[in-house]
Chain A
Amino acid sequence: MVEVTLWGSLSTVAGGKAKHEIEAKDIRELFRKLAEQYPGIEPWIDRGIAVAIDGTIYRDTWSKELPPGAEIFLLPRLAGG
């Protein structure tokens, strides 16, 4: 079980809650379970969500494991120049 924190706007499509307890071993499973619980989150995942694990931001490595006790923070996927 990991505790996941959603950024402000994303929490509006996840029952208005910023913090969620999810049983997930990696980013892929985390996204799948969030989408099952809150279908409104799916378009956001399609558009791109980055995952910060203990402060390190992952954008595409969906196989990245979520270590127990790690701080998991969802963020918008960013543009760069």
Chain B
Amino acid sequence: MNFDPRFSGRKFSSVGTRPIRPDGVDKVTGRARYGADFNMAGQLVGRVLRSPHAHAVIKSVDTSKAEKLAGVKAVITAKDLPDLTDGDTAMYDILDNSMARKKALYDGHAVAAVAAIDARTARQALKLIEVDYEVLPHVTDVDEAAQHHAPLIDDTIYTEGLEEKPAKPSNVTKRTQFGHGDVHSGFAKADFIVERSFKTEQTHQGYIEPHACVASVNADGTADLWVCTQGHFVYRQHCAQLLGMEASKLRVTSSEIGGGFGGKTHVWAEPVALALSRKAGRPVKLVMTRDEVFRASGPTSATSIDVKIGARKDGTITAAEATLRYSCGPYAGSWAEIGAMTAFACYKLENVKTVGYEVLVNRPKTAAYRAPSAPMAAFAVESVVDELAKELGMDAVDFRIRNAAQEGTRSSYGPVYGPIGIGPTLEAVKNHPHMKAPLKANQGRGMACGFWFNFGGQTCTDLNIGMDGSVSLAVGTVDVGGSRASLSLVAAEELGIDYSQVKAIVADTSSLGYNDMTDGSRGTFSSSMATISAARNAILILRERAAQTWDIPVDDVVWEKGHAIAKGEKYGNLSPLSLKDIAAASGKTGGPIAGHSELVADGAGVSFATHICDVAVDPETGSTRVIRYTVVQDAGKAVHPTYVEGQYQGGAAQGIGWALNEEYIYGKDGRLQNAGFLDYRIPVCSDLPMIDTQILEIPNPNHPYGVRGVGETSIVPPLAAIANAVSNAVGVRMTHIPMSPPRILAALEAEREG
């Protein structure tokens, strides 16, 4: 790769405009094909049998009766997915999570699956499978699971990251620590110290489209998989490894995606569908029900967090400390680690220490959810920051401005920051009319900051110029938020042509080189870099073809505004050649014209946001309504501002649901009690105000256009901003998310009783 990613400060023609998205018409007319919309001739219906127990040994699985049922074409258990992971524990966990092997580890864990000619037969077959369980004690609460006496979920796990190897296994899989300075001496210098403990409950990403796929394994060992995913190349790698296939023989095509937010970065149903198809010799369609999505896909962690912050009278923070316990489900993860890294990232701190503990529980395997782990840490920290500002008698925004990280600050997770946007977002909030608007009785205002890393990754892009001058752009990052429009703008910008001349598609795994998935807010950041590179490679060929046509040296040809121009007075009689002109003649000048790019898009800039929220709380019912909400966030450069605003609004909306209503509720039997949208309440349009947005553009020095990721940071501040608003409205510090009506009433009652 010979590509200079540094920010160039150029002026833009297409980037920054707001054209209609290329996938828009299909989506509003219902023609767009999502995961469950794909069908094949002769396809079977797949269904999964799931454990009703939170923790149980699987003594035996008898599938004989189900196999004899007319219409059943295949029944599989863990025996049909043998362990081919060769000591790779992360892959083994994925395998075991797809189909339980020795133990069922949570309510909803898959234990067998069938493929039948129709759904009714498949459901009947599931009832005929006999599973002999030995039910074990379970634990679903993160704090209880971390206790020494808690039921052990995996007796081979000993806590990692301790100075001495522990003598006994534990549900605490790992301890991590970050920070610098000396918090003890820092707290000794503080005039005011606030210390509190917080809890957040487990939530689901709540994507509207359930997991869905069609798998077709052919007799020659090749296979196709059509699937709703955030990363079809990653799904190919994982499925091929789990099924013992060569990756090149498995072609994966991603469908349109009805939301993912991190929840579609892991395989669950896909290896099962492929194993069923392999056994049945026919295509198998597997679509999760909503109940299955809740019980058996990947929600976020439940957490328990202690925070202590001290400050001098002048408002300078002298020390900050947090201990964070995050649930991982029944498999080891690194969720508390991320929380520990992000917790204090907004601030300039001389003395800071964070410790994270990863905790196993009998719940579904935790998956990423939009800036995973950061919102919970921000909730705890920003609540204490707000309380400390009050103790000091300082305005909450001014206190944050005084302590905000800036270029040259050593971050709480280690490195020194380059140019960053926390200060500008705070200044914008300080000056925003929202902060000055009057409030009525029982209303409260809160604000909070948030941080997320963003990252890039492996990226491959093809840009093909048709003979009519139209441009096809094939990318490998799944479009989760309008990236086909953004990338078309980038291609148009580089080539100097109109947006309407570019058509972007997401290519399948056999048509393009490997791409990491669309996560870490990397879709537009990474693929725009690859698109710029591919377009510049195509421009080189366009210049060569023009030079050939004119019979002059290629170095004398420049590319400007979509045209090849012969530079210099000696070429005064040569009229510029447009991209269309050169494309039309391409058959006689060397054949098709294309640009290709493969690169690792590293250097994604970190991102900051500050949110303002007004709420109205009914003191009699504890019901909360968000009445005004403003998002201020740094985008680096907004390629398509409408879709950047959409990301800001979407993150805020999800954060509002998380803050006020959403939670996994488990019974004493370890079973999920609210696996459906009636009982697990996500906000709908009528619950929300118009979410106002303000885009700041502090260029990322490591991207030619200055682009930063924008998809995740917007969910980091809402929990804290809303908690601060509710606390201000009711006069009681809220410490448990979600702040559902019963919890608010309980907090008010506790306050009254002293």
* Residues B418 and A80 in contact, CB atoms below 8 Å apart: no
Q: Which of B141-149, B422-430, B451-459, B665-673 contacts A (4 or more CB under 8 A)?
A: B451-459
* Residues B163 and A12 in contact, CB atoms below 8 Å apart: yes
CB distance from A80 to the nearest CB of B (A): 3
Distance between Cα atoms of A9 and B358 in the complex (Å): 13
Q: Does B512 contact A (CB under 8 A)?
A: no
* Residues B265 and A81 in contact, CB atoms below 8 Å apart: yes
Q: A57-B604, A78-B455 given. 7 additional CB < 8 A pairs?
A: A55-B411, A60-B458, A60-B602, A64-B602, A75-B341, A81-B262, A81-B372
Residues of B within 8 A of A12 (CB): 161-163
Q: Does B179 contact A (CB under 8 A)?
A: yes
Distance between Cα atoms of A71 and B702 in the complex (Å): 17
CB distance from B745 to the nearest CB of A (A): 32
Give per-residue flags for B390-434: 1 if the beta carbon is below 8 A from chain A beta carbons, else 0: 000000000000000000000101111110000000000000000
* Residues A80 and B458 in contact, CB atoms below 8 Å apart: no
* Residues B175 and A81 in contact, CB atoms below 8 Å apart: no
Q: Does B730 contact A (CB under 8 A)?
A: no
Residues of B within 8 A of A75 (CB): 341, 413-415
* Residues A8 and B178 in contact, CB atoms below 8 Å apart: yes
* Residues B415 and A80 in contact, CB atoms below 8 Å apart: no
Distance between Cα atoms of A13 and B455 in the complex (Å): 26
Residues of A within 8 A of B163 (CB): 12, 16
* Residues B712 and A61 in contact, CB atoms below 8 Å apart: no
Q: Does A23 contact B (CB under 8 A)?
A: no
* Residues B337 and A81 in contact, CB atoms below 8 Å apart: no
Residues of A within 8 A of B174 (CB): 9
* Residues A57 and B414 in contact, CB atoms below 8 Å apart: no
**Total B residues in contact with A, Cβ cutoff 8 Å:** 50
* Residues B338 and A78 in contact, CB atoms below 8 Å apart: yes
Residues of A within 8 A of B521 (CB): 80
A61/B600 contact (C-beta < 8 A), A79-B519, A80-B520 known: yes
> Which of the four size classes fits the interface of chain A?
20 to 34
Distance between Cα atoms of A71 and B414 in the complex (Å): 10
* Residues B337 and A76 in contact, CB atoms below 8 Å apart: yes
Among A9, A55, A59, which residue has its beta carbon within 8 angstroms of that of B176?
A9
Residues of A within 8 A of B337 (CB): 9, 76
Distance between Cα atoms of A59 and B414 in the complex (Å): 16
Interface residues in A57-81 by Cβ distance below 8 A to B read: 57-61, 64, 71, 73, 75-76, 78-81
Q: Does B351 contact A (CB under 8 A)?
A: no
Q: Does B613 contact A (CB under 8 A)?
A: no
Distance between Cα atoms of A48 and B411 in the complex (Å): 21
A56/B418 contact (C-beta < 8 A), A78-B520, A80-B262 known: yes
Q: Which of B77-85, B132-140, B363-371, B581-589 contacts A (4 or more CB under 8 A)?
A: B363-371
A5/B175 contact (C-beta < 8 A), A60-B457, A80-B520, A81-B370 known: no
Residues of B within 8 A of A80 (CB): 262, 368, 371-372, 453-455, 519-522, 712
CB distance from B165 to the nearest CB of A (A): 10
* Residues A7 and B414 in contact, CB atoms below 8 Å apart: yes
Among B160, B453, B600, which residue has its beta carbon within 8 angstroms of that of A60?
B600
* Residues A76 and B712 in contact, CB atoms below 8 Å apart: no
* Residues B177 and A55 in contact, CB atoms below 8 Å apart: no
Residues of A within 8 A of B372 (CB): 79-81
CB-defined A-B contacts under 8 Å, sample of 10: A9-B177, A12-B161, A54-B415, A56-B602, A57-B453, A60-B602, A71-B416, A76-B337, A78-B338, A80-B368
Residues of A within 8 A of B605 (CB): 56
* Residues A73 and B414 in contact, CB atoms below 8 Å apart: yes
Interface residues in A27-74 by Cβ distance below 8 A to B read: 47, 50, 52, 54-61, 64, 71, 73
Give per-residue flags for B84-101: 1 if the beta carbon is below 8 A from chain A beta carbons, else 0: 000000100000000000
Looking across the interface, which residue of chain B has its beta carbon closest to that of A79? B368
Closest CB pairs A-B (n = 9): A81-B262, A80-B520, A8-B177, A52-B415, A81-B368, A80-B519, A73-B415, A81-B370, A9-B161
A81/B371 contact (C-beta < 8 A), A59-B602, A60-B602 known: yes
CB distance from A69 to the nearest CB of B (A): 13
Among B334, B602, B603, which residue has its beta carbon within 8 angstroms of that of A79?
B334
CB distance from A49 to the nearest CB of B (A): 12
Interface centre among B179, B370, B520, by most chain A C-beta atoms within 10 angstroms, is: B520
Looking across the interface, which residue of chain B has its beta carbon closest to that of A46? B88
Residues of A within 8 A of B187 (CB): none
Distance between Cα atoms of A5 and B179 in the complex (Å): 12
Residues of A within 8 A of B414 (CB): 5, 7, 52, 73, 75
Residues of A within 8 A of B519 (CB): 79-81
Interface centre among A47, A54, A64, A78, by most chain B C-beta atoms within 10 angstroms, is: A78
Distance between Cα atoms of A57 and B521 in the complex (Å): 14
Q: Does B261 contact A (CB under 8 A)?
A: yes
Residues of A within 8 A of B456 (CB): 59-60
* Residues B369 and A76 in contact, CB atoms below 8 Å apart: no
Distance between Cα atoms of A79 and B365 in the complex (Å): 14
Residues of A within 8 A of B176 (CB): 7-9, 76
Distance between Cα atoms of A44 and B261 in the complex (Å): 27
CB distance from B367 to the nearest CB of A (A): 8
Interface centre among A9, A16, A58, A61, by most chain B C-beta atoms within 10 angstroms, is: A9
Looking across the interface, which residue of chain B has its beta carbon closest to that of A11? B177
Among B160, B162, B178, B455, which residue has its beta carbon within 8 angstroms of that of A57?
B455
Residues of B within 8 A of A79 (CB): 262, 265, 334, 338, 368, 372, 519-520
Interface centre among A16, A64, A81, by most chain B C-beta atoms within 10 angstroms, is: A81
Looking across the interface, which residue of chain B has its beta carbon closest to that of A72? B415
Residues of B within 8 A of A5 (CB): 414
Looking across the interface, which residue of chain A has its beta carbon closest to that of B520? A80
Distance between Cα atoms of A73 and B162 in the complex (Å): 21
* Residues B368 and A55 in contact, CB atoms below 8 Å apart: no
A76/B603 contact (C-beta < 8 A), A56-B702, A57-B453, A81-B372 known: no
A59/B415 contact (C-beta < 8 A), A81-B369, A81-B519 known: no
CB distance from B176 to the nearest CB of A (A): 5
